[in-house]
Amino acid sequence: NWKNRQLRDGDFGSQSGQYVAAASATTPNAATQNIDQRDDGALDFNQYSQEVRIASPTGQLIEYVAGGFFWWTKENDTFTRSDTFCSASTLPIDATGFRPCSTAPGVSTFTTATGPAAWTTRFRSQAGFAQATVNVSDAFKLIGGIRYTHDSVNYDYARTNTPAGIAAALRPGIQGPFTFAERTSANGVSGKAGVQFQATRDVMLYGTYSRGYKGPALNVFYSITANNTGPISPETSDAFELGAKTKLFDRRLTLNMALYSQVLDNFQANSFVTIPPQTFVTLTNAGRVRSRGFEMDFSFRPTDRISFNGGYTYNEGTIREFRCNAATLTPAQLATCVAHNGKPLPFAPKHKFNIGGDWKLPVEDVLPFTVRLGSAVAYSSRVNFDLDQTPLAQQAPYALVDANLTFATKDGRYELALIGKNLTDKYYTSFVTPAGNGVSALSYARLQVPRDAQRYFGVRLGVKY
């Protein structure tokens, strides 16, 4: 169980005079006529999980593991949004043609509209599984496994408005009263089959087929409306992988490589939905998508003092069949749905690599401690954050450079490291929420900027005991 409470306070721009609010965009400062906007929310979360396994002894012809898994969660949420505006004033109408307001005692009347909501979500998952490895010979193995899963999810939601009858323009961000309940469930079969061949002591080859399953889901959030309801179907996948794991040059070089191809049906992806005046991230079924490519990682120690490590991934993640059909979308969603066949998947850069090095300086004979110098570079090509391909919801290619200088006692018990992160001070984002849908979005609603998006330095002290 855990609890979290946050308070955000800030100056979002000056407002030169408030006026008696009207349910019309012609009111001066219409976008800022609410003098106070507040959000207050709390949640109570409970989770229980248990897994039981039985396994055979190792080293025999058939090795196996079997068991069951149970997972249950329940979350209670309460959330209230309030908008305060000037509803009456004794001041005369000014040159704008509207009646100004004042916070002086007895001059103006201020009204607060609130939209309290409460909802409860429940999730239950039960599964049974088994996997076996057949050691055909010392060099050849057959691997197979299966898992059967039953998932169920439901929620109850209720939102009210107080006082009743306040025009929507005077309570931006507070939707009208809404009460709804949904539930969905599904069964899924997943598993894998593969072969493994130990070609030599230092080279292992393998090939696998995997069937994946991700359970159903429901969207529920504070501003939910009837257009955002409906179950999210389970996601399934079929994946193939061919690879090799090697240790070369007297085991100074470890090199792993793999080719992969994966097709996902009813792909569950984030989608931006605008419920004026806000944009929300919801889950949707994007249809059929494919991810295929090549990946490798290595570690190389040419000497006892110098080491390198790194990895590279080439990934083609594309939408193969984006489904715009009345069977899965509401009329409002269908009217704006655009098939994005051939477009890139969200959060799937085509190229990613990292490489690092570490040098242990030869100073032990003259100093009472060891010194290591390390550095690393990480690169990502362009990242798309939006299933609807919003141009603004993208991160351009970027690279990060880190370095560290570490001092340690010769027994390795104490360690002091001077670290530098993002030495080139490269700005980047980890997520972008556009203010609107698709190519019509002209600005950002939210940027998520990680800690490493600017240069900084630090000190790390480690003790082993």
Against a cut of 0.75, is the pTM above it?
yes
Beta bridge pairs of residue 95: none
C-beta separation of 217 from 283 below 8 A: yes
305: left (phi over 0), alpha (psi -120 to 50) or beta: alpha
Q: List, for residues 87-114, the tens digit of each pLDDT value.
A: 888 999 888 778 888 888 888 888 888 9
pLDDT at 8: 54
- How confident is the model at residue 111, as a pLDDT? 86
Provide mean pLDDT across the span 327-341. Answer: 67
Query: What is the sign of the dihedral through the CA atoms of 91, 94, 100 and 102?
Result: negative
Alpha carbons 438 and 291: distance in angstroms, whole number? 23
Averaged pLDDT score across all residues of the chain: 87
DSSP H or E stretch at residue 333: helix 331-336
pLDDT at 368 over 60: yes
For residue 22, pLDDT beyond 80: no
How does residue 3 score in pLDDT terms, banded at 50, 70 and 90?
Answer: low
- Residue 101 pLDDT: 85
* Separation CA 387–CA 400 (nearest Å): 26
What mean pLDDT comes out for the span 378-407? Answer: 92
Q: What percent of the chain has pLDDT over 70?
A: 87
What is the rounded distance in angstroms from the CA atom of residue 112 to the CA atom of residue 361?
A: 67
Q: 386: how many CB neighbours lie within 10 A of its CB? A: 24
Name which residue leads in pLDDT, 84 or 420: 420
Please list, residue by residue across 338-372, b when 16 or more beta carbons sit within 10 angstroms of its beta carbon and e when fewer do. Answer: eebeebbbbebbbebbbebebebeeeeeeeeebeb
Q: Kindly indicate the confidence band of residue 16, based on its pLDDT and cuts at 50, 70 and 90.
A: very low
Query: Tell me: the pLDDT tens digits for 226-262?
Result: 878 889 999 999 999 999 999 999 999 999 999 999 9
Q: Per-residue pLDDT for 329 more than 80? A: no
Kindly report, residue by residue over 260-274, the tens digit of the pLDDT. 999 999 999 877 777
Is 201 in a helix, a strand, or coil?
A: coil
Catalogue the E-assigned strands of 249-287: 253-265, 268-275, 278-285
The arithmetic mean of pLDDT across residues 167-173, rounded, is 76
Is 359 a residue whose pLDDT tops 80? yes
pLDDT in tens, 403-426: 999 999 998 899 999 999 999 999
Model pLDDT for residues 312-322, shown as the tens digit of each residue: 999 999 999 88
Q: What is the pLDDT of residue 418?
A: 98
Residue 322 has a pLDDT of 83
Least confidently predicted of 25-34, 58-67, 277-286, 428-437: 25-34
Residue 237: which of 191, 294, 283 has the closest Cα? Answer: 191
Segment 296-311 shows an average pLDDT of: 97
pLDDT single digits (tens) 142-163: 999 999 999 999 999 999 988 8
DSSP 37-59: EEEEEEEEEEEEEEEEEEEPPSS
Backbone φ and ψ for 362, nearest 5 degrees, come out as: -80, 70
Structure tokens at 198: 């130990």
Mean pLDDT computed over 382-400: 88
pLDDT at residue number 340 = 82
Query: Residue 351: which residues within 8 A CB-CB, separation 6 or more?
Result: 312, 313, 314, 315, 379, 380, 381
Q: How many residues does the chain have?
A: 465
Residue located via tokens 């990680």: 450
> Is residue 376 helix, strand or coil?
strand
Q: Is a pLDDT exceeding 80 seen at residue 362?
A: yes
pLDDT at residue number 61:
95
Give me the pLDDT at residue 442, please. Answer: 55
Residue 26 token pair:
């012609």
